[in-house]
Amino acid sequence: MLKEIQETARWIKAHVTAVPETAIVLGTGLGRLAAEIEVDSSFPYADIPHFPVSTVEGHSGRLLFGRLGGKEVMALEGRFHYYEGYDMKQVTFPVRVMHELGIRNFFVSNASGGVNPDFEVGDMMLIRDHINFLPEHPLHGPNFPTGPRFLDMHEAYDHELLAMARQIAAEKGIKVVEGVYLATQGPTYETPAEYRMYRIFGADAVGMSTVPEVIVARHCGMRVFGVSIITDLGVEGKIVEVSHEEVQQAANRVQPLMAEIFREMIRRI
């Protein structure tokens, strides 16, 4: 896979004028943050050598290069999921390419179901930690040379970036909550019994992505910051039928606030 990663990175370098230090992954319904970026270059995933193609509605499937907060950034407008049929090497392939390009800061976002009874739909949760409930591990197999065989994960989400996000949210009067994100394989939404189980395990929000990317980003030595937008509730007495379209709509409403925090954090890094 190293050959393919290097070929993809070379192709990207040949097609952009500047390679940034910060990359952003935009999750379900969160692609509108791309409108905040002063885009210099845009590439459909299908045009990029060896890149997977996003198949999920709400994931536009473009790689963007431009400026946010006055700094050069790279943004994935849509990600790849295990439930689409990709293996974990494919799901995390873009993160490996980011490392090859020299990315140092990795910002990730997702839409998730809240299982913390204090959460409300529309809350922005700063991810403090995660639980990996996926059936395949992205570091399974021969160790990739970017990091150790046994990766320490005591600080998966960078404490300094979390502190910066808290400060910015307080300065701008933006409500944020914090918690633990649990990743499942999907594509079904959880049953009430599963929601209760995940809450007992210590989760505050549940989704179908992010964790594999974060693990590989940390294996590559990147600083990670993550946000979950709470688009529905898996709390007893508050569980209702939910559709993918409703998740997208709920995420859309919170995007301007998430964009404000991302923009200011990137400006200060």
- Looking at residue 59, its pLDDT comes to 47
State the amino acid at position 63 in one-letter form: L
- Looking at residue 251, its pLDDT comes to 67
Counting residues of the chain whose pLDDT is more than 70, the rounded percentage is: 90
- Looking at residue 247, its pLDDT comes to 62
3-state secondary structure the chain: CHHHHHHHHHHHHHHCCCCCCEEEEECCCCHHHHHHCEEEEEEEHHHCCCCCCCCCCCCCCEEEEEEECCEEEEEEECCCCHHHCCCHHHHCHHHHHHHHHCCCEEEEEEEEEECCCCCCCCCEEEEEEEEECCCCCCCCCCCCCCCCCCCCCCCCCCHHHHHHHHHHHHHHCCCCEEEEEEECCCCCCCCHHHHHHHHHHCCCEEECCCHHHHHHHHHCCCEEEEEEEEEEECCCCCCCCCCHHHHHHHHHHHHHHHHHHHHHHHHHC
Q: 222 near 101, Cβ under 8 Å?
A: no
- Looking at residue 49, its pLDDT comes to 94
pLDDT band at 19 (very low <50, low <70, confident <90, very high): confident
Express each pLDDT in 5-16 by its tens digit.
999 999 999 999
Nearest 5°: the CA angle 113, 241, 57 is 65
Judge whether residue 130 has pLDDT over 90.
yes
**Taking phi first (over 0 means left), then psi (-120 to 50 degrees means alpha), and beta for anything else, what does residue 103 get?**
beta
Closest CA to 214 of 157, 147, 137: 157
Judge whether residue 58 has pLDDT over 50.
no
Residue scoring higher pLDDT (72 or 36): 72
Can you tell me the distance from the alpha carbon of 133 to that of 228, in angstroms, rounded to the nearest whole number? Answer: 17
Lowest mean pLDDT among 15-19, 43-47, 55-59, 94-98: 55-59
Residue scoring higher pLDDT (158 or 247): 158
Judge whether residue 185 has pLDDT over 50.
yes
User: 2-141+149-255 — its CATH code?
Assistant: 3.40.50.1580
For the residues 25-54, what does the mean pLDDT come to?
83
Matching residue, tokens 């990996």:
132
- Looking at residue 241, its pLDDT comes to 58
Instruction: Characterize the bridge pairing of strands 223-233 and 124-132.
Output: antiparallel
State both tokens at 111. 């839409």
Closest CA to 107 of 71, 158, 58, 51: 158
Looking from the CA of 98 toward its CB, the CA atoms found within 13 Å total 33
> Which residues are 43's β-sheet partners?
63
Looking from the CA of 115 toward its CB, the CA atoms found within 13 Å total 24
Express each pLDDT in 217-240 by its tens digit.
999 999 999 999 998 887 776 665
- Looking at residue 147, its pLDDT comes to 94
> Which residues are 22's β-sheet partners?
73, 105
Q: What is the mean pLDDT of the chain?
A: 90
- Looking at residue 31, its pLDDT comes to 63
Domain ranges in the chain are 2-141+149-255
pLDDT band at 41 (very low <50, low <70, confident <90, very high): very high
Judge whether residue 3 has pLDDT over 80.
yes
- Looking at residue 127, its pLDDT comes to 98
Residue scoring higher pLDDT (254 or 165): 165
pLDDT band at 1 (very low <50, low <70, confident <90, very high): confident
pLDDT band at 30 (very low <50, low <70, confident <90, very high): low
Contacts of 6 by beta carbon, 8 Å cutoff, 6+ apart: 100
